[in-house]
Amino acid sequence: MRSPALAIAWEIWHRNRMGGVASLAVIGTAGLINWLVRGNSRWAGLAEVTGYVLLVLALFFTFGGFHFTEGRRKGGFGSFPFRLFNMPVATSWLVAFPMLYGSVAVLTIYLAGAWLIFVPLGKALPMVWPCLYLICAFTQFQMIIWSFPESRYLKLLCLSLAAAVIALGWMFFLPHIIEGTLSELGYTGSPALFKRYLFIGLALTGPAAFGISLYRVHQQRHGVTLGLRHFDLGREWISRRFLPRSRPFRSGTQAIFWQEWRQTGSILPIGVAAILAMTFVPTYLSGPLTPRATLGVLSWIFLSPLLLAVIIGRGFSKPDFWNQELNMTPFNAIRPLTSGQWVTAKLKVAAGSVLLTWGLVLYVSFVWTTWAGDFEELDRLFQQLMFHYSAQERWLLPVLAIFAVLILTWRFMVNGLAVGLSGRKRWYQFSNLLTGLVWVTLFAGVIWRSDHSDHNLHLYDVWQWIIWLPLALAGAVIAKSTLAAWAWYQVDQRQMLSRHSIYTYFGFWVLATGLLVGLVVLAFPHTVWLRNLLILLSMTVVPLARPGMAMLTLAKNRSGS
Amino acid sequence: MTFPSTSSADAVIAVTGLSRCFGSKLALDEVSLFVPRGSVFGLVGENGAGKTTLIKHILGLLKAESGSVRVFGKNPVADPVGVLSHVGYLSEHRDLPAWMRVDQLLCYTRAFYPGWDPHYAEQLREQFGLDPAARVKTLSQGQQAKAGLLIALAFRPELLLLDEPSSGLDPVVRRDILEAIIRTVADEGRTVLFSSHLLDEVERVSDQLAMIHHGRLVLCGRLDEIKESHRRLVLRFDSPQTALPSMKQALSIRGSGREWTVLCNGERNALCASLQQLGARVVDEQIPSLDEIFVAHAGRKAGEAESSTALS
């Protein structure tokens, strides 16, 4: 290695070479397929959606691969690698090289996707603003993860805010948004001027991110910590005031519940609270909203716990949310508790977290709507409800719907436990990839559909697919039941959980599934095929096999096998 | 290799024919040992010898690939609760939760062990000088070691497993507190197994010893018997020697000219006969230190490994 620049490049490459090659290979293969099927209008729509999905996934991977951080023993996760501070290299270079390499990698992926995937489809993606936008996003990402090694919550909060801004910000570069939505938002200047400001802003973010990162990494190199004394004191006060631990725990299970809760229980509520604040404060300050905007904001708010649960659930499924390692630490592994008791504690913490989150969402939404919202659209919905359903059903449906979203959020939180607790990194990465693929496909489908809203989608267009759905769902229910029977039998045989607890969980499953089925029956009393389809779907929602599987995989993880 | 040892019936820990591979590396190779109740058992070996791997098997944190591990007669993988309820463990890596305060750590750990003695815990906390309001992440390495030791001891476990307990502790704490604690535990009829690099410490504290080298048990037994079975012989020749021929009874041979030192194990008489044939006289004979025995065994095995590699 002849220079530090090469050494750092080699390190990043060596860590991510498999994923990097795989990303480029996937983009190349998709491009080849698109080139082969070019001109075939039947496949063009599907190929376009798939192209977006692959491109977004490859970009996600590149962000993940080029973060250039390392966990530290004494708390915190992912900070600038301290070992490099001992090297005779200027801090400016230590910061500049990873930032430069990451930016180049992100650009390479985007340009490769634009050329290889979309050009054969006859679609020319814009070049200048996405490249600038991606560099901006990447440098902000690195700046945040390098700048707050002292507080993981602050880092997570800043990352969430930045991710929300970045996820929405790109829309302001689209011509119809600039020309249409800006005026609705009250902007009276010319769209061209607005776009120019955006470009100037983007051009400045890279150097600004470099400057801030340099300042913070320089401070870390010389042992200067961020002045978070008041923040720490506040947190300490909250911890002592609301989470005192002066009396002993009644049992080991109560102790691990407390530990899990302290570590992960508040992440979802805090994340949702941040979204609530980001959404409600500006809308409250901007004055009363239109009826449509009220409905839009409420829809976004009710959707956010579900979306966040999908993301946070990936970390929650690991033995330690804040640790990149998937192996159970010896400190926890040597406690005389069964793996069943550990998993039960996790399930309970997830349930508590979901209840707190939805309590917060419902309460704040109610208060906000009364202060700043317009009830016209909501009233129209209620009128429709009155028209279709009886008085009892009108009350029962919202209650069951709230229960359904609680269950769904909880499911997203605990979905990956069996894989995350197994300690197998490859399984975990594959599971994350699969989850990402499903969600990105869903979003790409929704975006594509909204772009082609002029084309009416008739039921008979998709009927050939719908007739297979009952069979697929029935197969899923049978597979789930079989796997559940096997897993819980093993749990019982190995005495990981008492019979009483197993029966209690099974009772909960029956009750929860019954209520979901009840919701479906009430909501769709006349459309039989849809009702039956959704009943089958309801039977797959509440986890049945997964908790048992999680207990078995955790037991294997504990014994290093 | 087998050693005369306690029968498995008296043993708190019984390891039989245990082997473990990590990839292509053989971490443990047919290890068999029995740790008798009430003993202080020292486990020595160089870095990467397999000490921590063996301890992890005893805790059930690794499943035996071949062979068996029994602690209190139970399989620690199949019955973790039955075994771990009686085992106090201090990890080499001091992996305590960084975010907990010391008082929370004690409160938390207490929940798992019905036999937790709060007075003893408080006494140890004061003895170690740990501030109950301090967060674990703000503690020094030595203080973290003390906190780890405290929670391993406070429920008076029947078996105490200490993985490199001295690491990070200053000499005063190491000598006055750790060793006193270990002796107290043993005097109460409980069992201690600890691994260490510090052979003088092992020599002072333990009454049983096992030496692991490249995953193999090269020495195991009572400390006094081990020391008694080794001898350091000082030889004198009538004429200067450039080298001595290798002898299978000798663990190490050092020296030059007329005076040479040989460390031997067990087969003293056979060795003396061989030496006499070479024209050497034994002018001095001493019991070697544990340090010398360890170096001789490790050096011999390394030499064997090198020669076997060269042959292959």
pLDDT tens digits, B243-278: 776 666 778 888 888 888 888 876 667 777 777 777
Angle between helices A376-388 and A291-316 (to 10 degrees): 80
Distances (CA, A) of B245 to A110, B222, B249: 71, 32, 12
Q: pLDDT digit string (tens) for B7-25?
A: 556 789 999 999 999 888 8
Name the residue of chain A whose CA is nearest to B80's CA: A336
Q: Report the alpha-carbon distance of residue A140 to residue A150 in Å, rounded.
A: 18
Nearest Cα to Cα of residue B84 among A332, A424, A521, A394: A332
ipTM: 0.78
pTM: 0.79
Chain A residues in contact with B103 by the CB 8 A cut-off are 245
CB half-sphere exposure, A9, CA atoms < 13 A: 12
Does B59 contact chain A (CB < 8 Å)?
Answer: yes
Top pLDDT among B111 and B167 is at: B111
- Name the percent of chain A lying above pLDDT 90: 38
Burial of A169 (0-12, 13-18, 19+ CB in 10 A): middle
Q: pLDDT digit string (tens) for A138-192?
A: 999 999 989 888 777 778 778 877 877 787 777 777 776 666 666 666 667 777 7
Does B91 contact chain A (CB < 8 Å)?
Answer: yes
Nearest Cα to Cα of residue B208 among B1, B59, B56, B5: B5
* Alpha-helix residue ranges (DSSP H) falling in A177-290: 182-184, 191-221, 229-242, 252-260, 267-285
Residue B4 has pLDDT above 50, yes or no: no
Contact B108 A259 (CB under 8 A): yes
**Average model confidence (pLDDT) for chain A?**
85
Contact B63 A560 (CB under 8 A): yes
Does B21 contact chain A (CB < 8 Å)?
Answer: no
Q: What is the pLDDT of residue A285?
A: 67
Q: pLDDT digit string (tens) for A56-78?
A: 888 888 888 888 887 655 444 57
Q: What is the pLDDT of residue B270?
A: 72
Chain B contact probe: residue of A73, A334, A551 with most B CBs at under 10 A: A334
Nearest to A252 among B89, B98, B111 (CB): B111
DSSP class of residue B130 equals -
Does B67 contact chain A (CB < 8 Å)?
Answer: no
Contact A338 B80 (CB under 8 A): yes
Residue range A271-293: mean pLDDT, rounded? 77
- Min Cα distance B86 → chain A (Å) is 9
Residue range A431-435: mean pLDDT, rounded? 89
- Chain A residues within 8 Å of chain B (Cβ atoms): 73-75, 245-246, 248-252, 254-255, 258-259, 262-263, 329-331, 333-338, 494, 558-561
Name the residue of chain A whose CA is nearest to B59's CA: A334
Chain B residues in contact with A559 by the CB 8 A cut-off are 60-63, 77
Contact B84 A336 (CB under 8 A): yes
Does B281 contact chain A (CB < 8 Å)?
Answer: no
Q: pLDDT digit string (tens) for A289-347?
A: 777 778 888 888 899 899 999 999 999 999 988 887 888 888 999 999 999 999 999 99
Structure tokens at B295: 């170096």
Nearest to B91 among A249, A258, A330 (CB): A330
Does B108 contact chain A (CB < 8 Å)?
Answer: yes
Q: What is the pLDDT of residue A295?
A: 82
Contact A249 B96 (CB under 8 A): no
Q: What is the pLDDT of residue A514?
A: 95
Instruction: Please count the residue pairs, one from chain A and one from chain B, whose beta carbons lie less than 8 angstroms apart.
Output: 81
